[in-house]
Amino acid sequence: MYRRAIRWLSASPPRTLLLGFTFIIFIGALLLNLPAATAGGQSMPFIDALFTSTSAACVTGLVVVDTGTYFSAFGHWVILILIQIGGIGFMTMATLFALILRRRISLKERLILQESLNQGSIEGLVRLVQKVIFYALALEAAGAFMYTLRFMMDMNFGQALYHGVFHAISIFNNAGLDLTGDFRSLTGYSTDLYMNIVSIVLIILGGFGFVVLADLFEFRGKRKLSLHTKVVLTVTVCLVVVGTLIIFIFEFTNSRSFGNNSFGEKALVSLFQSVTTRSAGVTTVDISEFRQATQFFIIILMFIGASPGSTGGGIKTTTFAVLVGAVLAMMRGKEDVVLFNYRLAQERVYKALTVTLFCIGIVLLGTMVLATTEDAMFLVILFEATSAFGTVGLSLGLTGELSTPGKLTIIFLMFMGRLGPLTLTYALGPKPGRALYRHAEGKIIIG
């Protein structure tokens, strides 16, 4: 029975990804459950260890205990490894070890990589994996160096390096876990221009996706960007600018969130929150003090998320772009969705619509369950559910007070958000076959 289940799970790339992520999460939970993983030397409740392991592996950042003070150095390294594997992808890491050992990458492994990296074909996958590893490690190393320089102003070199490496990996992978203590995130650096810029750059680069990073780094040679890269860059810039303006306007007179900061400092805080809401999860102010209108707008940004093949979650920027393009085409009476003078196939539009509706359904289901198990305001529950599914990690304070059913619900949402609803559907559903006939066309009234 056990072998049959393993064979069924490994029969297709989506099922292998499902099995791999589940295995990594449970191994992480077992390690975090060890007494050596906590600062107090006592085993944490397994449900909390499972929650933390899922949050790290799914690069979310929601926590039920304070990462900086509750865990020991061993626990921190377990979390860091989970973040790295979850951010880059366990198949990417496995391929790296295979390349180091000079082992040939099989066709099945290439298909799993294709699914993991969200690619359209298996051509050039091994080269892409090498680029993914190089770009990720290079950017994390640069981030660790920059953070260490800043942390050296507050602590000795050893601690600064330790904090610098942890935060660079966590923030580049959009995980949002930090070592600052007392659930403070980066609130102590809200007006620190240096820390804000370094963090914003890491978050955005991590959220671009490795395909976009490869395209950008090779631009000098090719002098041309792909349609995918153009769409990602355009949507990212638009969302960051619009998000910054709306948060700035809504919170400008809110002394509980922005305090007595100057005009420029308020603009900097607004920019950081606009960037981090898309999947990073670190924050420089207390989000729970924001006005409800701002919190609801943040929910929208979290739902959109980062870009395909990145360390972030959500429905993805390209999905959002296709939906907006489809709406504009319908309003103009056009049959085709056109982006940057390229016509999109109907299949892409259907997939974008399917992903969006699927994600809305999952978030609403999680919200309804949490509304049943938890005693909190509806907006707080919706915020927490969206943050978990979008693998963002921002919280209005509910996560630390969750009941066991509530923790299991958030674990499910984080897992679904990282793996992707369509991947899970393909993994659990039957193998699709080709239809031998088409039904007669029918007409219904829309709108």
Beta bridge partners of 343: 338
Residue 310 has pLDDT above 50, yes or no: yes
Q: What is the pLDDT of residues 52-76, one digit of tens each?
A: 999 998 888 899 999 888 999 999 9
> What is the pLDDT averaged over residues 146-166?
93
* Residues 369/318/391/97 CA torsion (nearest 10 deg): 130
C-alpha–C-alpha distance, residues 30 and 399, integer Å: 21
Q: Are 236 and 204 in contact (CB under 8 A)?
A: yes
Residue 9 has pLDDT above 70, yes or no: no
Candidates 268, 305, 273, 301; CA nearest to 289 is 273
Residue 438 lies in a domain: no
Share of the chain above pLDDT 70, in %: 83
Give the pLDDT confidence score for residue 8 in this predicted structure: 47
Residue 240 has pLDDT above 90, yes or no: yes
Give the pLDDT confidence score for residue 306 in this predicted structure: 86
> What is the pLDDT averaged over residues 108-114?
55
Residue 447 lies in a domain: no
For residue 335, name the pLDDT band (cuts at 50, 70, 90): confident
Give the pLDDT confidence score for residue 354 in this predicted structure: 87
Continuous H helices in 332-438: 346-373, 378-389, 404-419, 421-428
Q: Are 316 and 356 in contact (CB under 8 A)?
A: no
**Residue ranges making up the domain that contains 245:** 2-424
Residue 234 has pLDDT above 80, yes or no: yes
Total domains in the fold of the chain: 1
Give the pLDDT confidence score for residue 118 in this predicted structure: 55
Residue 442 lies in a domain: no
DSSP 38: B
Residue 405 lies in a domain: yes
Residue 406 has pLDDT above 90, yes or no: yes
Top mean-pLDDT range of 9-18, 45-54, 351-360, 418-427: 45-54
Q: What is the pLDDT of residues 221-231, one digit of tens each?
A: 777 888 888 99
Number of H helices, E strands in the chain: 20, 2
The residue among 34 and 86 whose pLDDT is bigger is: 34
Coil vs helix vs strand at 71: strand
For residue 303, name the pLDDT band (cuts at 50, 70, 90): very high
> What average pLDDT is seen over the chain?
84
Give the pLDDT confidence score for residue 90 in this predicted structure: 52
What tokens were used for 40? 């107090």
CA dist list (Å): 201 to 139, 169, 228, 304, 393: 10, 13, 20, 19, 18
